[in-house]
């Protein structure tokens, strides 16, 4: 009997046996034998409690605010940014003042003298990114011709809808700058206490925030004032809750010693954490600052003129903050107010440049 092309039966059977012994044929292309199918992993034993993966590490914002306040259009913020990096900061808030005439107007614009151009903002943001600083764009409203007692915390625009349109248009331009320069955060408003609580205003903010999100893909922040954060009703619209931390640390009649200032901050921390109970959004101080002026710890918010230099009171106030807040799980970051300015021992401004407070801030960043 023969098979195929006339091979004897015995020879054909021998060839078939040899072929089977050599395994399956190699796939086309010479890639070797086909591997066996993968075996399914056994199911975990019943009742075994497998923990979820750990959460991503918390981003601590070790920040410094840098006011873009130079009147010279050719001014370079590069050297100031380099100093901020040397201080140990990882984040910078670039402060952009928006101006309107008074507390009742709605003519918001970049001031031709006291505000940076959008191009200058973009250049500062790019310079900060080159220094590996994460950027937060931080607009604040200022009044060109305020009536007595007026400031951004008690604005009362005659036409609220017009104010929100004007503010939203300007904020949208800043958001566009942030989008093209790689900014990580944008503050949508700061210390606007008279405009951040009423239900009708919340609706206006909601529409404004939706517009901004269409342009800017980073985190949005709202910064409430230290005496109004409990009443602020728009935190749910943003990604991070900010607070301007200008709490009065002492009665003016009390000494500005370490124990008194620390007690002032412990009292403020207790109030903040009680308010924060059950809240899940990240919490940051968008401003922590003291002037190097006698009495600064009794009224840190006071920007009035005059006064006697006191470098130690400024340093002690930052040291008290460090002792109370360092290691607090409720704090996700802070921004020191404000690096812009000449600094040095003879000045009374907020900047800690060239003052003993620098040492406290550096230690704060190292431990945060």
DSSP string covering 114-146: TS--HHHHHHHHHHHHHTT-EEEEEEEEEESSP
- The angle formed by the CA atoms of residues 289, 348 and 357, to the nearest 5 degrees, is 50
Report residue 16's pLDDT band, with 50, 70 and 90 as the boundaries: very low
Residue 52: per-residue pLDDT: 72
Residue 37: per-residue pLDDT: 56
Could you tell me which of 314, 368, 320, 361 has the C-alpha nearest to residue 65?
361
Average pLDDT over residues 78-106: 98
Q: What are the pLDDT digits (tens) for 166-218?
A: 999 999 999 999 999 999 999 999 999 999 999 999 999 999 999 999 999 99
Residue 253: per-residue pLDDT: 94
Q: Do you find a cis peptide bond into 305, omega within 30 degrees of 0?
A: no
Residue 359: per-residue pLDDT: 98
Residues with Cβ within 8 Å of 291's Cβ and at least 6 positions away in sequence, in order, are 300, 302, 307, 314, 348, 349, 350
Residue 360: per-residue pLDDT: 98
Report residue 14's pLDDT band, with 50, 70 and 90 as the boundaries: very low
CA–CA gap between residue 220 and residue 217 (Å, rounded): 9
pLDDT of residue 20 exceeding 80: no
Residue 48: per-residue pLDDT: 61
Residue 59: per-residue pLDDT: 78
Cα distance from N-terminal residue to C-terminal residue, the chain:
91
Q: What are the residue boundaries of the structural domains of the chain, listed by start? A: 61-367
Average pLDDT over residues 15-24: 41
Find where tokens 């331009």 sit. 173
Between 197 and 26, where is the model more confident? 197
The three-class DSSP label of residue 323 is helix
Report residue 26's pLDDT band, with 50, 70 and 90 as the boundaries: very low
Report residue 56's pLDDT band, with 50, 70 and 90 as the boundaries: low
Report residue 45's pLDDT band, with 50, 70 and 90 as the boundaries: low
> 61-367: which CATH architecture?
Alpha-Beta Barrel (3.20)
Q: What are the pLDDT digits (tens) for 300-317?
A: 999 999 999 999 999 999
Residue 270: per-residue pLDDT: 98
Residue 10: per-residue pLDDT: 41
Give the whole-number percent of the chain exceeding pLDDT 70: 85
Residue 156: per-residue pLDDT: 98
Residue 41: per-residue pLDDT: 56
Given a contact cutoff of 8 angstroms between Cβ atoms, the answer to whether 313 and 356 are in contact is no
Average pLDDT over residues 107-131: 98
Between 13 and 154, where is the model more confident? 154
Mean pLDDT across the chain: 90
């Amino acid at each position: 009997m023969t098979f195929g092309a006339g091979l004897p039966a015995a020879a054909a059977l021998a060839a078939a046996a040899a072929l089977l012994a050599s395994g399956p044929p190699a796939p086309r292309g010479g890639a070797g034998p086909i591997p066996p199918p993968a075996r399914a992993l056994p199911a975990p034993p019943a009742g075994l409690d497998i923990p979820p993966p750990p959460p991503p590490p918390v981003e601590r914002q070790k920040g410094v605010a840098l006011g873009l306040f130079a009147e010279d259009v050719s001014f370079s913020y590069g050297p100031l940014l380099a100093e901020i990096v040397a201080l140990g900061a990882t984040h910078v808030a670039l402060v952009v003042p928006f101006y309107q005439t008074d507390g009742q107007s709605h003519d918001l614009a970049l001031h031709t003298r006291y505000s940076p151009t959008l191009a200058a903002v973009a250049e500062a943001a790019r310079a900060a990114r080159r220094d590996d600083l994460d950027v937060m764009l931080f607009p604040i409203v200022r009044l060109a011709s305020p009536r007595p007692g007026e400031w951004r915390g008690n604005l009362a625009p005659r036409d609220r809808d017009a104010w929100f349109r004007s503010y939203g248009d300007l904020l949208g331009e800043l958001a566009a700058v942030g989008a093209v320069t790689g900014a990580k955060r944008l503050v949508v408003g700061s210390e606007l206490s008279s405009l951040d609580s009423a239900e009708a205003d919340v609706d206006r903010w909601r529409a404004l925030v939706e517009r901004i999100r269409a342009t800017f893909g980073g985190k949005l922040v709202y910064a409430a004032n230290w005496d109004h954060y409990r009443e602020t009703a728009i935190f749910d619209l943003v990604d991070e809750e900010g607070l301007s931390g200008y709490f009065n640390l002492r009665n003016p009649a009390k000494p500005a010693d370490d124990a008194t200032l620390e007690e002032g901050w412990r009292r403020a921390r207790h109030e903040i954490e009680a308010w924060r109970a059950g809240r899940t959004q990240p919490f940051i101080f968008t401003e922590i600052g003291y002037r190097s002026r006698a009495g600064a710890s009794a009224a840190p918010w006071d920007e009035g003129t005059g006064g006697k230099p006191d470098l130690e009171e400024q340093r002690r106030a930052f040291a008290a903050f460090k002792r109370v807040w360092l290691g607090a799980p409720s704090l996700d970051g802070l921004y020191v107010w404000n690096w812009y300015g000449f600094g040095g021992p003879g000045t009374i401004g907020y900047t800690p440049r060239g003052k003993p407070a620098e040492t406290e801030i550096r230690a704060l960043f190292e431990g945060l």
